[in-house]
Amino acid sequence: MPTDKKGEQAPGKETIDKLAAGIYPSLAMLAGMELGVFTALGKGALNSKELASTLSVSERRLQPLLYALVAAGLLTLDNGGFANTLESRHYLVKGSPTFIGNLHIRYRIWWEAVLQTAATIREDRPVAGLDFSTLSPEEIRKDFSSRDSGNRAAGRTLAKQFNFSQFKHLADVGGAAGSLALGAAEICPNLRLSLVDLPSTVAVARKYLAERGEEDRIEVIAADITSEPLSARFDVAVMRNLIQVLSPEQARQAIMNVGQALEPGGMLLVIGHVVDDTRLSPPDIVSYGLVFINLYQEGGAYTEGEYRNWLTEAGLSKIVRHLQPDATSVIVARIADR
């Protein structure tokens, strides 16, 4: 066995090997989502020739991907026929009520950004920088598409988990095209819905909603909540994946402004990538912090303690953090009866 200069025996490199190989199943999933492999298998198993014909691609090139997806646990193989697993069938087949397959758009952005980590640190700037206030209408629509199915699913889950039937008026703050609110309304159809986002975003959102015949279902409010209070009032507000892209001062002010818009006894749910106060767990969220430094000038996976301080300062109490199966958190707080 090799030794170092001090005569210490070198350990195995299992961790390095595991990390180096671990990227390939993720990239196989991305390719499968982008090609539409899972949707093509939505009606049943196909062999590689049939699947290649359906996708209009080379069977020789497709085969290694199919085997990789079997190895990754996203497909099964039986007598030459490839089929979706139960998980793939629910989440990666377009048309399924729980479809999240358009997330491949965001996965590509995130993973390509993280490849720039060394350059970002050397240059002290987000090399793959993303500024929502300067996106073109086409880029905003692409962002809507990447979020839509996932946000609707999140809305349905939240409405059930936190009993939105007790509320009358929901605000989807920083909600892009309001998909989360619309998902919640599938469970609680009597909810009045409002979308709050930047003026540049809501201008596109109005057209996006009109194209889907949903413009009458949700009120659209243009506002920068990091710098201005809201005139509307709500009894429940959701801020999903928003605070984490803001600076600490912007985060503080955004929570303050939304808190002031809540009716007495109202509930605020802040959802996103939250780390423990040690900054060492959950490990998946700690690693995700690399996305933030590469995409945003400010922002990050803030600690539970930081969220509690901002919420308390905004006059909210009864603060509870709920860790979700994907390691993200839902932090729930109530505004006191005034």
In a domain, 9, yes or no: no
Full domain range(s) for residue 92: 14-99
Geometric angle at alpha carbon 14, from 12 and 15, rounded to 5°: 120
Residue 152 per-residue DSSP state:
H
45 lies in the same domain as 117: no
221 lies in the same domain as 290: yes
80 lies in the same domain as 140: no
CB crowding 155-174: b at 16 or more within 10 Å, else e: bbbbbeebebeebebbbbbb
Q: Which two tokens stand for residue 78?
A: 């039986």
Q: Mind listing the pLDDT tens digit of every residue in the chain (338 residues)? A: 566 666 788 899 999 999 999 999 999 999 999 999 999 999 999 999 999 999 999 999 999 999 999 999 999 999 999 999 999 999 999 999 888 878 898 899 999 999 999 999 999 999 999 887 788 888 888 888 888 888 998 999 999 999 999 999 999 999 999 999 999 999 999 999 999 999 999 999 999 999 999 999 999 999 999 999 999 999 999 999 999 999 999 999 999 999 999 999 999 999 999 999 999 999 999 999 999 999 999 989 999 999 999 999 999 999 999 999 999 999 999 998 75
Residue 145 is predicted with a pLDDT of 84
CATH number, domain containing residue 37: 1.10.10.10
In a domain, 210, yes or no: yes
In a domain, 230, yes or no: yes
Listed residue (181, 154, 34) closest to 101, CA to CA: 34
25 lies in the same domain as 121: no
149 lies in the same domain as 94: no
Geometric angle at alpha carbon 152, from 172 and 317, rounded to 5°: 40
79 lies in the same domain as 167: no
Listed residue (132, 130, 106, 301) closest to 202, CA to CA: 132
Task: Indicate the residue type of 137.
Answer: P
110 lies in the same domain as 45: no
52 lies in the same domain as 125: no
**Which residue among 77, 99, 121 closes a domain?**
99
Residue 338 is predicted with a pLDDT of 55
Q: Which two tokens stand for residue 248?
A: 């600490």
Q: Which two tokens stand for residue 157?
A: 């889950």
CB 220, CB 209: distance < 8 Å = yes
Q: Give the CB-side neighbour count of residue 72, counting CA atoms within 13 A.
A: 23
**Which residue among 99, 134, 154 closes a domain?**
99
169 lies in the same domain as 303: yes
Domain total of the chain: 2
How would you class 303 by CB atoms within 10 Å of its CB: exposed for 0-12, middle for 13-18, buried for 19 or more?
Answer: middle
In a domain, 6, yes or no: no
Residue 122 is predicted with a pLDDT of 97
142 lies in the same domain as 83: no
Residue 133 is predicted with a pLDDT of 76
CATH number, domain containing residue 173: 3.40.50.150
